[in-house]
Amino acid sequence: MSSKSNCGEEKELVCVTGAGGFIGSWVVKELLQRGYRVRGTARDPADSKNAHLLALEGAKERLTLCRADVLDRDSLHAAFAGCHGVFHVASPVSNDPVSRRCYLFHFQTEQQCAMYSAADAACVRPRLQELVPVAVEGTRNVINVAADEGARRVVFTSSYGAVHMDPNRSPDTVLDETCWSDYDFCKRTENLYCCAKMMAEITATEEAAARGLQLAVVLPCMTMGPMLQQTLNFSTNHVARYLMGTKRSIPNAVAAYVDVRDVARAHVLAYERPSACGRYLCIGTVLHRAQLVAMLRELFPQYPVTAKCEDDGKPLAKPFKFSNQRLRDLGLEFTPLRKSLYETVVCLQQKGHLPVIQQQQRAYL
């Protein structure tokens, strides 16, 4: 499944859906670095927001962008023609403000969801209702068209939202690939992003089995690290809001984090290893939000980092246990969160999303 590396030999062609996004861009970069020929899909390849892809090393020789929509099978046939493999990274959540609020529901508790304003709810709920059918139908199209075009393997980007959202899970349970979120709980709390990812993953598994297509599923959590694209994505905006103190308080909650470069490498490892199949939970670390913010404050003391913790009357939430052993067995080494956070902030500064506040020279890493 690996790309040929001898000079003069044609490199293997693969397709990446959602190539211009935060994770998709890094998957493209990782594939180009390994010598693959890459065809990336975008709704509008000529849009300037995809310019960063064409600037990647190797892009001039081995990257092409094409217009495709996962709900348009004809466009997928054109995108997948001649491809040995497909990386289905595209998500039903885009970067517009309403979609970002839809995605935000994925990281909220039931009480936090209830705090949304009526205006927010009026905007978000209709879009939430669209997520599941769009994700399912889009995934069904991708798997079947990939099989029609003779692809050997698909790597599908799911989410740990399809794994961890279960209020009845014991605190002693180790979160791993055997775990699934509680669909009814997610639907009741309007975490329809999680519902969409669960149903899309199930659809991918069933359709791939029916078509005899090899399938590996990567389940990343809250993804940190530097952006290749110019526009802010949810997780980097999350960091910026804490750093500038615009997020007024820190919730009493834990979260799982991983570096975007590790997510990209996980995708490629899952593609290249012939024995790789099934689910791969992509989590680097789990910690309380207050610990994340404390790390930011230590790394960047010159910024007005959020300091207030929410008092919800409950004991301090404890990090849950998890296993990322399946990805480690593929050879993935996880980047320390401290390094990811530092490089996230430096990237935000360089791209003009954060003011550069000077400080005394000191060692951070």
Catalytic residues: 197
CA-to-CA separations, 122 to 112, 116, 135, in angstroms, rounded: 16, 10, 21
Contact (CB, 8 A) for 100 and 108: no
Beta strands per DSSP E along 182-221:
214-220
CA distance 220 to 335: 14
Q: CA 191 from chain center: how many Å?
A: 16
Q: What's the maximum distance between 2 C-alpha atoms anywhere in the chain?
A: 66
Q: CA 135 from chain center: how many Å?
A: 15
Contact (CB, 8 A) for 192 and 135: no
The DSSP code for 138 is H
Torsion over CA of 42, 46, 48 and 51, rounded to 10 degrees? 70
CA distance 118 to 129: 17
- In terms of C-beta density within 10 A (0-12 exposed, 13-18 middle, 19 or more buried), how is residue 356 classed? exposed
**Residues with Cβ within 8 Å of residue 6, at least 6 apart in sequence:** none
Q: What is the DSSP string of 49-97?
A: GGHHHHTSTTHHHHEEEEE--TT-HHHHHHHHTT-SEEEE---S--SSH
